[in-house]
Amino acid sequence: MLEAKLQNFVENEIQCRCCGKLIVNHEALICLQAFRYFLNRKFNRNTRITPTCGTRCCQHNIDVGGAKGSKHLTGQAFDLTSPDISYKQLFEAAVESRLFSTVIRYDKSLFVHVDTGKRKNYAVVSWIWDK
């Protein structure tokens, strides 16, 4: 298989926070890196992304109150913040990019969840949660 290196992300940013488990989902990682490039062009400057969560093992998903079918369990989801733009700008850009099938804004925790779980007709679904 032809493989490419991710320019802006390293393993320990997306490993399970409790045990270091890492599920490499190539599609999700390619979309994450593409989103990073998208942000650079959208804001005309280097726009960093800080993943606060990537892969979760089953126990960690339970510990943080994740959904039963969470895409974090399959390496398809990332929770993101940015030191360069607000979480609201990050949310709008993630929806606009159409790189992720699900984009969720958490207005109390101040981060954005993105994932590449399959949806019919490649739909993009986004919403805002008061949590």
Q: Which residues bind Zn ion (CB under 5 A)?
A: 16, 18-19, 57, 60, 77, 79, 113
Q: Where are the alpha helices (DSSP H) in the chain?
A: 11-14, 26-43, 58-63, 87-97
Cα 126 to Cα 111: distance, rounded to the nearest angstrom = 14
Using CA atoms, how far apart are residues 1 and 102, in angstroms rounded to an integer? 27
Round to whole Å and give the CA distance between 84 and 58. Answer: 32
Instruction: Pick the closer one to Zn ion by CB: 36 or 105.
Output: 105
**At its nearest, how many Å lie between Zn ion and the CB of residue 57?**
3
Residue 2 CB, nearest approach to Zn ion (Å)? 29
H/E stretch holding 72: none
Query: Is the CB of 33 or the CB of 79 nearer to Zn ion?
Result: 79
Shortest CB 56 distance to Zn ion, Å: 6
Pick the closer one to Zn ion by CB: 17 or 42.
Answer: 17
